[in-house]
Amino acid sequence: MENKITPQEYEEYVEKKSPNSPILKNCFNAFWVGGLICTIGQFILEYCKYINLDTQISYTVVSVVLIFLSAFLTALNIFNKIGKFAGAGSLVPITGFANSIVSPAMEYKSEGYVLGVGAKMFTVAGPVLVYGISTSVIVGIIYSFF
Amino acid sequence: MKKIGSQTIQLENKVYILSSASIVGPKESEGPLAKHFDLCLDDEFWGEKTWEKAESKIIKECVNMVVAKSGLASQDIDLCFAGDLLNQCISSCFGLRSLNIPFIGVFGACSTFIEAISLGSVFIAGNAAKNVVCATSSHFCSAEKQFRYPLELGNQRPPTAQWTVTGSGSVVLSTSCDNSPYVTYVTPGKIVDMGIKDANNMGAAMAMSAVDTIITHFKDTGRTPDFYDLILTGDLGYIGKEIVIENCKKEGYDLSNNYNDCGVLIFDKDKQDTHSGGSGCACIATVFSGYIYKLLKEKEIKKVLLVATGALTNATTSAQGESIPGIAHAISVEFE
């Protein structure tokens, strides 16, 4: 059989055949779960203020608690289910970042602590770190001039 | 044995499929075909420490099972053809290293099962072997690790994504007859690349290679779709299945009555959240070895065209923006 159909035509054809992600539903779930995570963060912050912690330390405590919770739930095989349900809602807050480091660490533990956990821990989070830090350096340089 | 048409081999001396065996993982054990498989595992590790070791154990036990079921002693088996999805086919190499049977590793991505049976059949028809064992395996967890993301990563899968089948299927091919189904034609497929780059839409990437092989098989043999009781592709899933039906129809071959796909059959899409269906080397291997072989034996169906489809890609080529070439190999299995 000759390929009578060009790759471009085929791509358009496949596009029509392929169901789209349920964007509205995904957005809604991302919105309320993301909001819930941020609200939990706010509660922790308010509690820190309530027990008279220094503001700067309070912010750090919020991050540490959320990172711990995310890592803990990742280890229990629960966070991936939350992530599947909420998408960017659990990915964008610091919880997603923690999950992206803990999950490869768990996955590659079978290759040992050096070549597995150590080498592969940042396979998912690495790009975020590289470009996040690079951007902040550039912004910092610009800021120092003006 | 002779070549007919452009790319089909006719096996004049029948090559019998003496026995089949299948082992599947926990998710497949909850699927609609669960009762047909020989062994359903309730643990993805099967007592091993890594996914890779688990997959090796699955293919090893599956091969042991099929040899035992054939009634042959292992020294009567002349050759083993096996392969899988992991880099350098380590599941089959490691799993079968203690087999003590001459081993030929094969790779055709998810088309490996039919590729192995094709080679085995031709070896037997050419008197190069009397008894041959063919096996493949795949494992959801080891495949995700190699091709996609860590399992615990909280991401979403698009509706076009497919679910790699955990399991292994195997058959023993033989010259001697024990009232068994037999292979009559082998149609090795060409690589067809339609330019699809989305690794989450393998069904679409492979579908046109299946169309090519199916139509070539009909032209070479002079058969028509209604000759077969069942035409079965490997792991095109729901989207690929539709593409095959539509494009075969365009060429004048109506498959709508007797065509299905193993990726569609093995899971319950709605209950099991498997999106576009099953995939992996074990998809057609377990569905054929567990389900279709029994239908043939019980004479519920008599003529089957098996078309295993493979996406010839890896994580590096995907990251480099290469498209995904597809391949499909077909064999005709009959039992009168």
Q: Do B154 and B194 lie in a common domain?
A: no
Chain A, nearest residue to B189 by Cα: A1
Instruction: Measure the CA–CA gap between A122 and B157, rounded to whole angstroms.
Output: 21
Phi, psi of B135 (to 5 degrees): -150, 150
* Residue A90 belongs to some domain of the structure: yes
* Residue A2 belongs to some domain of the structure: no
pLDDT digits (tens, 9 = 90+) for A105-138: 999 999 999 999 999 999 999 999 999 999 999 9
β-pair partners for B27: none
Task: Write down the pLDDT at residue B182.
Answer: 97
Q: Do B193 and B120 lie in a common domain?
A: no
Task: Write down the pLDDT at residue B176.
Answer: 86
CB contact (8 A) between residue B195 and residue A124 = no
Closest CA–CA distance from residue A145 to any residue of chain B (Å): 38
Tokens of B7: 């790319």
Q: Do B215 and B316 lie in a common domain?
A: yes
Of A18, A77, A87, the CB nearest to B160: A18
- Mean pLDDT across A61-79: 96
Contact of B206 with B240, CB cutoff 8 Å: yes
* Residue A95 belongs to some domain of the structure: yes
* Residue A39 belongs to some domain of the structure: yes
Local confidence pLDDT in tens for the 336 residues of chain B: 999 999 999 999 999 999 999 999 999 999 999 999 999 999 999 999 999 999 999 999 999 999 999 999 999 999 999 999 999 999 999 999 999 999 999 999 999 999 999 999 999 999 999 999 999 999 999 999 999 999 999 999 999 999 999 999 999 999 987 799 999 999 999 999 999 999 999 999 999 999 999 999 999 999 999 999 999 999 999 999 999 999 999 999 999 999 999 999 999 999 999 999 999 999 999 999 999 999 999 999 999 999 999 999 999 999 999 999 999 999 999 998
* Residue A31 belongs to some domain of the structure: yes
State the ipTM, two decimals.
0.91
Residues of chain A found within 8 Å of residue B242, distances taken between Cβ atoms: 17
Instruction: Measure the CA–CA gap between B55 and B47, rounded to whole angstroms.
Output: 11
Of B152, B154, B159, the CB nearest to A107: B152
Chain B, nearest residue to A81 by Cα: B154
| Domain-ending residue, one of B156, B174, B192 | B174
**How many structural domains does chain B have?**
2
* Residue A5 belongs to some domain of the structure: no
Task: Write down the pLDDT at residue A3.
Answer: 53
CB contact (8 A) between residue A21 and residue B150 = no
**How many structural domains does chain A have?**
1
Instruction: Measure the CA–CA gap between B138 and B142, rounded to whole angstroms.
Output: 8
* Residue A36 belongs to some domain of the structure: yes
Question: Which of A3, A11, A17 best probes binding to B when mutated, by most B CB atoms within 10 angstroms?
Answer: A17
The whole-model pTM stands at 0.95
Contact of B167 with B116, CB cutoff 8 Å: no
Instruction: Measure the CA–CA gap between B291 and B272, rounded to whole angstroms.
Output: 20
Q: Do B140 and B261 lie in a common domain?
A: no
pLDDT digits (tens, 9 = 90+) for A36-57: 999 999 999 999 999 999 999 9
Q: B26 in contact with A at a CB cutoff of 8 Å?
A: no
* Residue A19 belongs to some domain of the structure: no
> Which domain does B271 fall in, by range?
182-334
| Domain-ending residue, one of B174, B199, B216 | B174
Residues of chain B found within 8 Å of residue A26, distances taken between Cβ atoms: 156
| Domain-ending residue, one of B108, B140, B174 | B174
pLDDT digits (tens, 9 = 90+) for A1-36: 455 789 999 999 999 999 999 999 999 999 999 999
Task: Write down the pLDDT at residue A146.
Answer: 84
Question: Which of A2, A5, A15, A18 best probes binding to B when mutated, by most B CB atoms within 10 angstroms?
Answer: A18
- Nearest-10 Cα torsion for B291, B293, B295, B298: -130
The Cα-based distances of B263 to B28, B142, B284 in angstroms read 11, 18, 8
Q: Are strands B230-233 and B259-261 parallel, antiparallel or unpaired?
A: parallel
Q: Do B105 and B242 lie in a common domain?
A: no
Q: What number of C-beta contacts closer than 8 Å exist between A and B?
A: 97
Residues of chain B found within 8 Å of residue A7, distances taken between Cβ atoms: 194-195, 323
> Which domain does A136 fall in, by range?
24-145
Of A86, A87, A107, the CB nearest to B151: A107
Instruction: Measure the CA–CA gap between B242 and B208, rounded to whole angstroms.
Output: 11
Task: Write down the pLDDT at residue B336.
Answer: 85
Q: Do B136 and B16 lie in a common domain?
A: yes
Report the Cα–Cα distance between both ends of chain B, in Å, rounded: 20
Q: Do B127 and B217 lie in a common domain?
A: no
Contact of B63 with B80, CB cutoff 8 Å: yes
CATH number, domain containing residue B46:
3.40.47.40
Q: Do B85 and B111 lie in a common domain?
A: yes
pLDDT digits (tens, 9 = 90+) for A71-115: 999 999 999 999 999 999 999 889 999 999 999 999 999 999 999
CB contact (8 A) between residue A8 and residue B195 = yes
Contact of B138 with B167, CB cutoff 8 Å: yes
Q: Do B170 and B187 lie in a common domain?
A: no
Chain A, nearest residue to B206 by Cα: A14
